[in-house]
Amino acid sequence: MQNDMVRRLTAEFIGTFWLVFGGCGSAVLAAAYPQLGIGFTGVAFAFGLTVLTMAYAVGHISGGHFNPAVTLGLWSAQRCANKHVVPYILVQVVAAIVASATLWVIASAKPGWTPGGFAANGYGALSPGHYSVAGCFLAEFLLTFFFLFIIIGTTSKGAATGFAGIPIGLGLTLIHLVSIPVTNTSVNPARSTGPAIFAGGDYLFQLWLFWLAPVAGAMLAGFLARSLYEPSAIMDTIVVEERRSS
């Protein structure tokens, strides 16, 4: 039982580290050079690819959450055991902070580098498009809501077996294509927390929105999924997890 939890938390750490390092790294390192031409589109695909690759690399070990909102959304859908919720979230946040620290060390090795927003999320003056707090909250809420529906639907009974990582990764790419100009895209409180710590100032002050909106959207999606999908498709996941842990 203890070894199973260690394996799960290690998988969540690796997956979340890769998501934050790869996704935010594409913004901090590559997007800083216009001649590379990756722009918003490249950053959006970078985030999608991190989830896609880790879904197949370690998703079969931990479920491939890499995101506190996903963990809480799946818990709300009765697809995540109670005992996994707090440990998963703690490890995800720690992994995001370590990934951000690693990215800072690499980025600061360039002479004359300035961190700016360091890929952090924000609203108002800190929003790339200067969107209001209400607009940013609604965007994060809705996009996380639909992200959870993609995750739950593609991993439910009756969905194509073995292909869930593809629509989930593409879903996250689409989310970034829509919302990078609005909030710089969070839909993931851990991803927001790591860069905000290093960006500091008002980015930390605004962090509340990037916990509250994604978690609320994810948990609503999980709750509604209980009636949309077969109960057995939801409960079987916990039964399997409990058997593996015993």
**What was the pLDDT predicted at 238?**
45
Is position 218 within any domain? yes
How far is 101 from 93, CA to CA, in rounded Å? 12
**CATH code for the domain of 142:** 1.20.1080.10
**What was the pLDDT predicted at 236?**
45
What is the mean pLDDT of the segment spanning 119-147?
98
Question: Is a pLDDT exceeding 70 seen at residue 201?
Answer: yes
Range of the domain at 139: 2-108+118-245
Is position 122 within any domain? yes
Is position 113 within any domain? no
Is position 62 within any domain? yes
Q: What is the DSSP string of 36-84?
A: G--HHHHHHHHHHHHHHHHHHHTHHHH----SHHHHHHHHHTT-S-HHH
Question: Is a pLDDT exceeding 80 seen at residue 37?
Answer: no
Query: pLDDT band at residue 242, thresholds of 50, 70 and 90?
Result: very low
How far is 110 from 104, CA to CA, in rounded Å? 10
Question: Is a pLDDT exceeding 70 seen at residue 243?
Answer: no
Q: What's the chain's average pLDDT?
A: 92
- How many structural domains comprise the chain? 1
Is position 94 within any domain? yes
Instruction: Using alpha carbons, select from 82, 81, 101 the residue that is nearest to residue 28.
Output: 101
Choice among 149-153, 185-189, 228-232, 240-244 with the minimum mean pLDDT: 240-244
How far is 189 from 199, CA to CA, in rounded Å? 15
Choice among 57-61, 85-89, 154-158, 176-180 with the minimum mean pLDDT: 154-158
Q: How far is CA 193 from CA 16, 121, 181, 232, in A?
A: 12, 9, 19, 35
How far is 78 from 68, CA to CA, in rounded Å? 15
Question: Is a pLDDT exceeding 80 seen at residue 74?
Answer: yes
Question: Is a pLDDT exceeding 90 seen at residue 55?
Answer: yes
* Amino acid type, 73: G
**What was the pLDDT predicted at 33?**
75
Choice among 2-11, 28-37, 188-197 with the minimum mean pLDDT: 28-37
Q: What is the pLDDT of residues 107-120, one digit of tens each?
A: 999 998 899 899 99
